[in-house]
Structure 1
Amino acid sequence: MTPERLREIYGDVHERAAAKVIHAFDAHCRQFIEHSSFLILATSDGDTLDISPKGDPAGFVTVESDTTLLLPDRPGNNRIDSLTNILAHPNVALLFLIPTVDETLRVNGTAEISEDPALRAQFQVNGRRPKTVLRITADEIYTHCGKAPMRGGLWKPESWPSQRPVATLLEMLRDHTAIPQDRTDQDAVDHLYRSTLY
């Protein structure tokens, strides 16, 4: 397969799609980020790829300037895959989502990790500051059409499963790691989440 063959298969890019990339956060982008409560962060160490979900109340990402964003790093499992990737290879991509909105916002750029106390204090929740904050400098910013969420029924409750269709997190961890778990029911998972959310 070649780029030329792909273009032959798919045809020319739509004019608006080709022209929609901007390089600064305008009013529409700022509004989208202000209302987003969830994003996907993609990073790479130069060889392998990684994606990581990030979520908080709407507006948890701050538009610092026309070209920079601030993203707090909340407590997780301490693998810090995204952060070590950024140290090796600062290129990142973000996909912002807003519940009930089919369209998404994409940002491609570079990131740096800050442990500045004043910066961390801006994102304090329940008396706890994030250990680090990402400062992301955007190179490309653009909207993405809503066809994929529409096809997947992402925001249509009538298409959601009536019961959890997969094992609990602790059941999966038990089987993936061979480390025994005292409890594996969803109540145990919910307790774990509540105690480590911030």
Structure 2
Amino acid sequence: MTPEKLRRIYGDVSPHAAAKAISHFDKHCRQFIEHSTFLVLATSDGANLDVSPKGDPAGFVKIENEKTLLIPDRPGNNRIDGLLNILAHPKVAICFMIPSVTETLRVNGIAEISDNPNLCDEFKVNGRSPKTVLRVTAEEIFTHCGKAPMRAGLWRPETWPTDRPIPSLYEMIQDHSKIEVASTEQSYAERRYRETLY
């Protein structure tokens, strides 16, 4: 496959799509980010790729200025794959989502990690500050049409499964890791979901 062949298969990009990328957060981007409760962060170490979900109440990502975003890193499993990638290769891509809105907002840029206590304290929730905050300087920003979420029924509850269609997280971890997960650990983990989100 070549770029030329792909272009023959798909045809020319529309003028609006070709021209829609900007490099600063205008009023529309700001409004989208202020209402977003979920994003997916893509990182790379230059050889391998990783994607990480991030979620919080609307407004959890702060717009520092017309070029930079601040994203708190909440407690997780401490693999920190994305953060380690950023140290090696700071280019990132972000996809912002708003529940019920089919369109998404995409941001490509350069990230750096800060553990400045004053900055981390700006993102305190329930008395707990994140250990680090990601500062992303935007290089390219653009809206993305809602066809994929519409096809997926992402925001249409009537299309959602009525019962969980997959095993519990800890059943899957046990099978993948080949390490026994006791039922007490599974109950503890479920409790931690409720008690240690922050």
Please confirm whether the aligned pair reaches a TM-score higher than 0.5, indicating the same fold: yes
Aligned to 2:192: 192
Aligned to 2:172: 172
What are the ranges of 5 or more consecutive residues in structure 1 without an aligned counterpart? none
Alpha-carbon spacing, 1:13–1:54, altered in 2? closer, same or farther (3 Å): same
Query: Does the 8 Å CA contact 1:43/1:82 hold for their aligned counterparts?
Result: yes
Aligned to 1:63: 63
Aligned to 2:84: 84
Aligned to 2:75: 75
Alpha-carbon spacing, 1:107–1:184, altered in 2? closer, same or farther (3 Å): farther
Q: Distance in 2 between matches of 1:71 and 1:84?
A: 16
Q: Distance in 2 between matches of 1:196 and 1:76?
A: 9
Aligned to 1:135: 135
Q: Distance in 1 between matches of 2:189 and 2:168?
A: 7
> In the TM superposition, what are the counterparts of 1:17-28 in structure 2 within 5 Å?
17-28=17-28
Provide the alpha-carbon RMSD of the alignment: 1.3
Q: Deviations over 1:75-116 (max 9, x none)?
A: 000000000000000000000000000000000000000000
Q: Deviations over 1:107-162 (max 9, x none)?
A: 00000000001100100111111000000000000000000000000000110001
CA drift at 1:195: 2.7
Query: Does the 8 Å CA contact 1:170/1:181 hold for their aligned counterparts?
Result: yes
Alpha-carbon spacing, 1:10–1:67, altered in 2? closer, same or farther (3 Å): same
Aligned-pair identity (%): 67
What are the ranges of 5 or more consecutive residues in structure 2 without an aligned counterpart? none
State the AA in 2 paired with 1:165. Answer: P
CA drift at 1:186: 7.7
Q: Distance in 2 between matches of 1:141 and 1:120?
A: 25
CA drift at 1:188: 5.0
CA drift at 1:180: 1.6
Q: Which runs of 4+ in 1 moved over 2 A?
A: 184-190
CA drift at 1:175: 1.0
TM-score by length of 2: 0.97
Query: Does the 8 Å CA contact 1:72/1:133 hold for their aligned counterparts?
Result: yes
> In the TM superposition, what are the counterparts of 1:5-154 in structure 2 within 5 Å?
5-154=5-154
Q: Distance in 2 between matches of 1:43 and 1:77?
A: 17
SS in 2 for 1:164: coil
